[in-house]
Amino acid sequence: EQWYQRRVRAPSGRRLAAGGCLLLGNDQDTACVAGPATSEAFGGELYKLNFYSEVLNSTAIQLLSEDRCADTEVEFDSIRVIKWEEVLDETRSGNVQSIDAGCTSLKLIAVMEQDLQQARQNINELKEENNELKIEIEEASIRINTTSTQLETTQLR
């Protein structure tokens, strides 16, 4: 697979104006003023769209794209200027549908697998402790039997 990155830079010293318009899924030329044009609407899916203050290298891009359900982007929070979570909180217009990407159930399964692994480890540790206690009990039983035999022998004399 190849990973592509598009470098878009504003002219030196330019910033987004306060109260500006960030438009996803439509041509911004007129939409920020007159509203979105349905003839130029985006059709498709957007997922975890983040804006960064620096250009990400290909390694970072590949890392971010490997698991759509991982929270890998938080590793880049220091340069993430617009976060996907913030985009989701904004008012949306047009025919926008939110769909479940299945991550909630996948994360739940991952947590359950971790819990299961921890439970198995705890069981193995308890089994080991149980075996150690069995050995201690057997050794104590031998000592008691030996002491009992010695007492009987002493009393018979």
Highest mean pLDDT among 26-40, 43-57, 85-99: 43-57
Exposed / middle / buried, residue 52 (Cβ in 10 Å: 0-12, 13-18, 19+) = middle
In this predicted model, which residue has the larger pLDDT, 148 or 111?
148
Give the pLDDT confidence of 88-136 residue by residue, as tens digits. 887 777 777 777 777 766 667 777 888 899 999 999 999 999 999 999 9
Kindly list the distances between the CA atom of residue 139 and the CA atoms of 127, 128, 144, in Å, as whole numbers in the listed order. Answer: 18, 17, 9
- Tell me the residue length of the chain: 157
- Distance CA(74)–CA(58), nearest Å, equals 17
Calculate the average pLDDT of the chain: 77
